[in-house]
A = this chain, B = another copy of it.
Amino acid sequence: MQSYTEENYLKTIYHLAEKTINVQTNAIAEQMQTKPASVTDMIKKLADKGLIDYIKYQGVTLTETGKNTAIDIVRKHRLWEVFLVDKLNFKWDEVHDVAEELEHIKSIELIERLDEFLGFPKADPHGDPIPDKNGRFAKTQFIKLIELKVGDSGTITGVSQHSSAFLKHLEKLGLTLGKQIQVSDVTDFDGSVEIQVSDKQVNISREVAKHILISSNGKN
């Protein structure tokens, strides 16, 4: 059994490992909003428990057990987010903090039944895949909107930034999950992208375009 804190560390390491193979102390500290010294302490404990592999000064990687535990927490987080949005009418920018707490409730029965109650959803409100009870999920093939060329089209199926400010911005522009878009222009001056959504033209900055994930349905 892991503590609330250990679970948060495992989840953080799991997410960081999606970007870099070896996860560094400083990266964990930044993500967890804590000090590198504290991270080192926790890293030792997790290594002792066999949840991570750790070589001094070389960063960490999750063991099989560690990875499974992390995925289980991610599963809970995302299922709770679906619950909050689908059943309690939260907006997609309001769910993160509450899910951050709910993900630590430890009943297995609870999460199985919640999954069923929600109709075994495959993705959370931000388009992130929900692992099934065995920890399996399809690694979705996304393209960043910024990578599309003029004329390319596709469907918004995810975001790689979960801040409330960003999500509210997208909402205001009508750029929500499932929306069909087409790139109509890329501005020379600042690289901002002009896109067609639901018969409207909207202009988004490069920064925004970087964090919108598209499942491409045809290049031209």
Contacts and interface: CB of A to CB of B under 8 A. Distances in A.
A113 B101 contact: no
Interface in A83-102: 84, 87-90, 94, 97-98, 101-102
A114 B88 contact: yes
A173 interface: no
Interface stretch (A54-62, A104-112, A188-196): A104-112
Contact of A98 (B84, B101, B107): B107
- Report how many copies the assembly holds: 2
A101 B105 CA distance: 6
Nearest to A94: B109
Interface of A: 84, 87-90, 94, 97-98, 101-102, 105-107, 109-110, 113-114, 117
B107 A97 contact: yes
**Cβ-closest 8 pairs across A and B:** A88-B113, A98-B107, A101-B105, A98-B110, A88-B117, A87-B117, A102-B105, A88-B114
19 contacts: A84-B110, A87-B117, A88-B110, A88-B113, A88-B114, A88-B117, A89-B113, A90-B109, A90-B113, A94-B109, A97-B107, A98-B105, A98-B107, A98-B109, A98-B110, A101-B105, A101-B106, A101-B107, A102-B105
A90 B97 CA distance: 26
A84 B109 CA distance: 11
A131 to B, nearest CB: 20
Contacts of A101: 105-107
Contacts of A109: 90, 94, 98
A210 B113 CA distance: 34
A99 to B, nearest CB: 10
From A89, A94, A110, A117, name the one whose CB has the most chain B CB atoms within 10 angstroms. A110
